[in-house]
Amino acid sequence: MKYKLIEENEEYIVINKPAGLLTHGAPHIKEKTLVEQILKDYPDIAKVGDDPERPGIMHRLDKLASGIIVLARTMDSFDNLKSQFKNRTVKKDYTALVFGKIQKDEDEINFPIKRSTKGFKMAAIPSTNHGQENIEGRKAISKFVITTRFINYTLLNVKIKTGRTHQIRVHLAAYGHPIVGDDLYGTKKTRIKNKKLNLERIFLHAHKLSFKNLAGEIKEYEIKLPKDLKDFLAIVK
């Protein structure tokens, strides 16, 4: 699995990560990652950032998701992009297919997110506790607009204001509509369906990303759905 280059300049590179490829590794992970591919093609990125295991990485996508990622090529660019991610001015759009029919045309999900007692996953918690704001988890905001309604599924355009681990997956599952292909946050019923569907990935694709370069110009990148998701949409009901 190899990433596809979308844009390359002196400040940063923008790539399309395929599903099945880890963004970056960890001491216990042995499989190949996006970072290893990037360092082979752009060795200068090795010195960029504040974590040697994630050189140039500004944000990540889950292994089983696909889509746009931006990587900084210089420390000036890294600091510029880091500030925008921190201040939540970077715009991120995702396409997600979920189980079931959603009645509202659009909605906002604002459940705080914390690490689950099962340490390998995250959990959404109520936004209030006894009438007060729940400070137990980290604030997380996801907004969606329905793109297409099917009989048994709903296609969404999702925008996230925060970038918590597994945010979209956790939020949509807590909303009662897990993402197709997501066994980690799905229900027993949807896991059985996933096995029959045999998608072999989650139906989550980061299709649009917008930020400002060092000159203060807004740069926007947008890509289409990959072939496997297009083909899958053609057969769902």
Of 202, 203, 100, 102, nearest to 146 by C-alpha is 102
Examine the residue annotation and report whether 62 is marked as an active-site residue of this protein.
Answer: yes
Phi and psi, residue 128, nearest 5°:
-130, 155
Catalytic residue among 41, 44, 51, 62: 62
Of 98, 128, 127, nearest to 194 by C-alpha is 98
C-alpha distances (whole Å) from 23 to each of 34, 66, 124, 131, 191 are 5, 10, 24, 39, 25
Of 176, 167, 122, 166, nearest to 143 by C-alpha is 167
Q: Which residue has the tokens 């947008």?
A: 222
Torsion region of 155: left, alpha or beta (phi above 0 gives left; psi -120 to 50 gives alpha): beta
Q: Which residue has the tokens 């897990």?
A: 178
Residue 1: strand, helix, or coil: coil
Return the active site residues.
62
